[in-house]
Amino acid sequence: MDQMSIFFAVGGLLILALILASIAHRYHAYVEERRQHVLRILKRVDEIEGLAKRTVGLPVPVEMERILRRDMLARLQAAKGVHARYPGIDGMISTAQQALEQAAPRAASAAMSEQKIERFSRLMAELEWLVKENRLLVEIDEEEKENLLGMLVMRHSETLYRYHTGEAKRLLKSNQLHQALWHSEQIKSILQNRGLANEQFEAWYREADHLHGQVAKRLSGD
Q: Which pLDDT does position 89 carry in this prediction? A: 95
Cα R_g (the chain), whole angstroms: 29
Residue 130 covered by a domain: no
Print the domain residue range for 37.
Answer: 1-105
Number of CB atoms found within 10 A of residue 121's CB? 16
Residue 110 lies in a domain: no
Number of neighbouring beta carbons within 10 Å of residue 73: 20
Contacts of 153 (CB under 8 A, 6+ apart): 128, 194, 196
- Asked whether residue 148 falls in the same domain as residue 220, the answer is yes
What is residue 10's predicted lDDT score, i.e. its pLDDT? 60
CA distance 100 to 102: 5
On whether residue 125 sits in a domain, the answer given is no
Question: CA nearest 106: which of 94, 92, 93, 123?
Answer: 123
Q: Does residue 116 sit within a domain? A: no
Q: Is residue 96 part of a domain?
A: yes
Q: Is residue 165 classed exposed, middle or buried when 0-12, 13-18 and 19+ CB atoms within 10 A define those classes? A: buried
Per-residue pLDDT in tens (0 to 9) along the chain, 222 residues:
566 666 556 666 677 666 766 777 687 777 888 899 999 999 999 999 999 999 988 999 999 999 999 999 999 999 999 999 999 999 999 999 999 999 988 776 657 899 999 999 999 999 999 999 988 988 888 999 999 999 999 999 999 999 999 999 999 999 999 999 999 999 999 999 887 778 998 999 999 999 999 999 998 875
2, part of any domain? yes
Q: Residues 120, 61: contact at Cβ < 8 Å? A: no
- Pairwise CA distance, residues 134 & 106, whole Å: 24
Boundary residue ending a domain (51, 80, 105) = 105
21 located within any domain: yes
Q: Mark out the alpha helices in 83-198 (DSSP H runs).
A: 89-102, 114-132, 142-173, 177-194
Closest to 80 (Cα-Cα) out of 97, 98, 102: 97
Q: Is residue 24 domain-resident?
A: yes
Q: State whether 9 and 97 are in the same domain.
A: yes
Picking from 45, 80, 105, the residue at the C-terminal end of a domain is 105
Please tell me the total count of domains within the chain: 2
> For residue 17, what pLDDT is reported?
67
Clarify whether residues 70 and 157 are in a common domain. no
| pTM of model > 0.85 | no
